[in-house]
Amino acid sequence: MRKTILLIVAVLLSANCFSQKELETKTKTLLDANNFNGARSYLDSCVKSKSYEKSGTAWYYRGFAYKKLYTTQENTNRESLSRITALESFKKSMDLDNTKPNIESNKENIKYLTVTLYNDAAYILSEGTTKQDTANFPTAKNDFELYKKYATIVDTSKDYRTIKENEVKFKLGLGYIYNVMFNKDATYNVEYYNLAKQQYMAVLSMDESYISKENLKMLKDWKAGYDENERVKKLLSVSKYYTKENSIDKTITLIKDEKKKETKSSYNVSEDALNNFGYELIKLNKTDDALKIFTLNTELYPNSFNTYDSLGECLLKLNKKDEGLKAYKKSLELNPKNKNASKVLSETK
């Protein structure tokens, strides 16, 4: 009985050795002939069989065949399925066989493929910036997520520092192009603004040590501007106060008091808000009240060319030609590139 058992074991071991040798021989023959599709089909069937489904070698060869398909036939395809299958196969091989030679061989291939994923993601961002087109950004995001997933297997830096630094660069790149698209024209697509905000906020939530000093300063400046915009959105309207009180003098007093409060103000008394309020009054045929607002705006914001430009326009509407031209000259003095002021001064005699 003992001899029978030993014989069965010996047969099984010899069969396993033969199968392993057959796997290596046939795979090598197909690869040497550059028959990568044939190698893929053969190895796909192998890993589905009971003989090889738990063979780290079979999964490694499968990964290698798919890697060859990617590098020879799909290396310009930034959504290559062969690349993904290769990565999955190499990872599976490592899970099944943790011997040092197998781990090192798989890691070497994974490292190569993760570099291509990161490069593809970066290229798409660069192309999108040049063309101002975000159509391929979902592919870039997917490639980068795959890069992160598999790069953790081969990244030897402390706390995956290299990956996190690359993540900062990628998200800042995304944020930049979304911001460009947001400011592309007068439509100011809010969707792009929110996408840019999402990327910048994500970076700000990361450890600052992964962010360069230059980028960190840029982000903090952006955050300060964002916070200020959010604060301004919640401020009350001077126009509504004017409508309620029906008094330009009370409104002017309110504006002066609120301006002194700076960031603690309850009303929006920014230069643009007051300028818009002045034009609202003109539309309501309350030009005299508008003149008081435009004049006040030049006092509160004396270095703004636009406040004097608007004041000049209002004065001309009131037939105060000399004062109006004087305001336009001041506007042009503050901004020599103010085409509107130049035009009015050249046309008005």
State the CATH class of domain 235-347.
Answer: mainly alpha
Q: For residue 214, how far is the Cα from the chain centroid?
A: 17
Domains 25-125 and 235-347 share a fold: yes
SS (H, E, C) 67-115: HHHHHHHCCCCCCCHHHHHHHHHHHHHHHHCCCHHHHHHHHHHHHHHHH
pLDDT of residue 130: 87
Question: What's the pLDDT tens digit per position in 176-235?
Answer: 998 888 887 656 678 888 899 999 999 999 999 999 899 999 899 889 888 988 899 999
Of the pLDDT bands very low, low, confident and very high (cuts 50, 70, 90), residue 43 is very high
CB 83 within 8 A of CB 51: no
Q: Give residue 349's pLDDT.
A: 66
The structural domains of the chain, with segments of one domain joined by +, span 25-125, 235-347
Q: How many Cα atoms are found within 13 Å in the side-chain-facing hemisphere of 148?
A: 15
User: Rounded to whole angstroms, how far apart are CA atoms 39 and 53?
Assistant: 16
CA dihedral 37→43→48→53, nearest 10 degrees, is -160
- pLDDT, one tens digit per residue, over 247-291 is 999 999 999 999 999 989 999 999 999 999 999 999 999 999 999
Tokens 């326009």, located at residue: 313
pLDDT for the residue 187: 63
Q: Confirm or reject CATH 1.25.40.10 for domain 25-125, answering yes or no.
A: yes
pTM of the model: 0.69
Mean pLDDT of all residues in 86-92: 97
What H or E segment, with its residue span, contains residue 129?
Answer: helix 100-131
What pLDDT shows up at residue 12? 34
- In the structure encoding, which two tokens stand for residue 119, read together? 């490069």
Measured between alpha carbons, how far is 172 from 40 in angstroms, rounded to an integer? 39
